[in-house]
Amino acid sequence: MEPAFDTQDHPLLFGLPYLALYQAEGRDTVSFLQGQLTNDIKLLAPEQGLIAGFCTPKGRLLALFHLLQRDHSALLCLPAEIAAPVIKRLSMYLLRADVRITSMQETLTTLGLAGPGCAETLETALGFTPPQQPGAVIQQGELTIARAAGEAERFLIIVPTPEVDELKRNLALDYRENGNTIWRLLDIRAGIPTIVTATQDEFIPQMVNMDLINGLNFKKGCYTGQEIVARTHYRGKVKRRMFRATTTGPVPVPGTPVHAGGHDQPVGQVVDAVETKGDQTEMLLVLQLAQAETGELHLGPPDGPVIDLLELPYSFDSADA
């Protein structure tokens, strides 16, 4: 098990093997992605990344992408466990579009940098000021550095695989081959969902707060699933939202049901969960709003471990959510 990140008192560089990286390039890349993803792809720029979802025609999320522009192409970052089937399905919509989507797993390496003072470490080692605002990106030679969301100081770094060792030497930091738990924990604390196999086709984007993390644009026009997503926004109410929470005991897998006291049927499910220290777990849950506000929550069966809700770094009004 990886050492608890909460005890870290200095910057840490780590690999992110649970993420896969694909490149979309060609004359029609922007228009193609614009017709498939939930965000306004025209806002993607060398200095600005995006979060966007890919939905079924019924408006249910199949994947959540982190997008970066690099060398006039779009990089799509998503969990490796769903990457191949998601990219295959996305490619079904290509038709005659001039777009090529290829895996970059052998060409580029995805790293995370987090911990106290990591921005200062980047500036000292590499000689330039890293991006300051969440979502901001800097391209420096073959290096792509994106400031990730959340209150914690952290960066996503894309580097050509042959240059990884040189980057490690320049930064002169402790390095972990696998920092999956760290990055997922920081995503959980930032209120950023991850869609995996167990949760595909379960949520419309608003259920996982994509409208609150700038992952959903209601003015961009049509995309797959847009009619359902827009109807929910303009005519209906989202009866489920994503919450941050903590519990004790074994770490639940995504999709684990959540029960409320006195209810035999689940009132929600786990989106992602990570052990922090001891037997404490932090997680993101999609819950019925009424039960989140009034009911005692239990993980798994109705008599399972008690769940305590935590604050998210953003808020929503349950009256019109």
101-147 pLDDT, tens digit each: 999 999 999 999 999 999 999 999 999 899 999 999 999 889 999 99
Beta-sheet strand order (sheet of 100-103): 50-55, 61-70, 73-79, 19-25, 100-103
CATH number at residue 232: 2.40.30.160
Residue 321: predicted pLDDT: 38
**Does 47 lie in the same domain as 175?**
yes
User: Which of 139, 161, 190 is at the close of a domain?
Assistant: 190
**What integer best gives the mean pLDDT of the chain?**
92
Residue pLDDT, tens place only, 40-81: 999 999 999 999 999 999 999 999 999 999 888 999 999 999
**Computed from CA positions of residues 259, 263, 268, 269, in that sequence, does the dihedral angle turn out positive or negative?**
positive
Residue 17 token pair: 């093997």
Residue 225 belongs to domain spanning: 197-310
| Rounded CA separation 212/206 (Å) | 8
Confidence bin at 5 (pLDDT 50/70/90): low
- pLDDT exceeds 50 at position 262: yes
**Does 201 lie in the same domain as 154?**
no
Beta-sheet strand order (sheet of 175-176): 137-140, 143-147, 154-160, 108-114, 12-15, 175-176
| Rounded CA separation 285/282 (Å) | 10
- pLDDT exceeds 90 at position 8: no
Confidence bin at 288 (pLDDT 50/70/90): very high
- pLDDT exceeds 90 at position 320: no
Query: Is residue 129 in a domain?
Result: yes
Backbone angles phi, psi at 94, to 5 degrees: -65, -45
**Does 300 lie in the same domain as 240?**
yes
**Does 259 lie in the same domain as 179?**
no
SS (H, E, C) 107-131: CEEEEEEECCCHHHHHHHHHCCCCC
Query: Is residue 315 in a domain?
Result: no
Residue with tokens 């991850």: 194
Residue 4: predicted pLDDT: 59
**Does 29 lie in the same domain as 178?**
yes
- pLDDT exceeds 50 at position 173: yes
Query: Is residue 40 in a domain?
Result: yes
Q: Beta partners for 281?
A: 247, 275
SS (H, E, C) the chain: CCCCHHHCCCCEEEECCCEEEEEEECCCHHHHHHCCECCCHHHCECCECEEEEEECCCCCEEEEEEEEEECCEEEEEEEHHHHHHHHHHHHCCCCCCCCEEEECCCCEEEEEEECCCHHHHHHHHHCCCCCCCCCEEEEECCEEEEECCCCCCEEEEEEEHHHHHHHHHHHCCCEECCCHHHHHHHHHHHCCCCCCHHHCCCCCHHHHCCCCCCCCCCCCCCCCCHHHHHHHHHCCCCCEEEEEEEEECCCCCCCCEEEECCCCCCCEEEEEEEECCCCEEEEEEEEEHHHHHHCCEEECCCCCCEEEEECCCCCCCCCCC
Residue 317: predicted pLDDT: 66
CATH number at residue 93: 3.30.1360.120
Query: Is residue 319 in a domain?
Result: no
Q: Beta strand 12-15 with 108-114: parallel, antiparallel or unpaired?
A: antiparallel
Contacts of residue 114, Cβ cutoff 8 Å, sequence gap at least 6: 5, 8, 11, 12, 14, 152, 153, 154, 155, 179, 182, 183, 186
- Global confidence as pTM: 0.94
Confidence bin at 319 (pLDDT 50/70/90): very low
**Does 202 lie in the same domain as 160?**
no
**Does 165 lie in the same domain as 40?**
yes
236 versus 208: which is more confidently predicted? 208
User: Which of 190, 215, 245 is at the close of a domain?
Assistant: 190
**Does 152 lie in the same domain as 210?**
no
Q: How many structural domains is the chain composed of?
A: 2
Residue 138 token pair: 């800097």
**Does 16 lie in the same domain as 44?**
yes
Query: Is residue 321 in a domain?
Result: no
| Rounded CA separation 309/121 (Å) | 34
34 versus 71: which is more confidently predicted? 34
Query: Is residue 105 in a domain?
Result: yes
| Rounded CA separation 39/52 (Å) | 5
Query: Is residue 2 in a domain?
Result: no
**Does 259 lie in the same domain as 178?**
no
Confidence bin at 185 (pLDDT 50/70/90): very high
**Does 102 lie in the same domain as 228?**
no
**Does 289 lie in the same domain as 185?**
no
Backbone angles phi, psi at 30, to 5 degrees: -65, -45
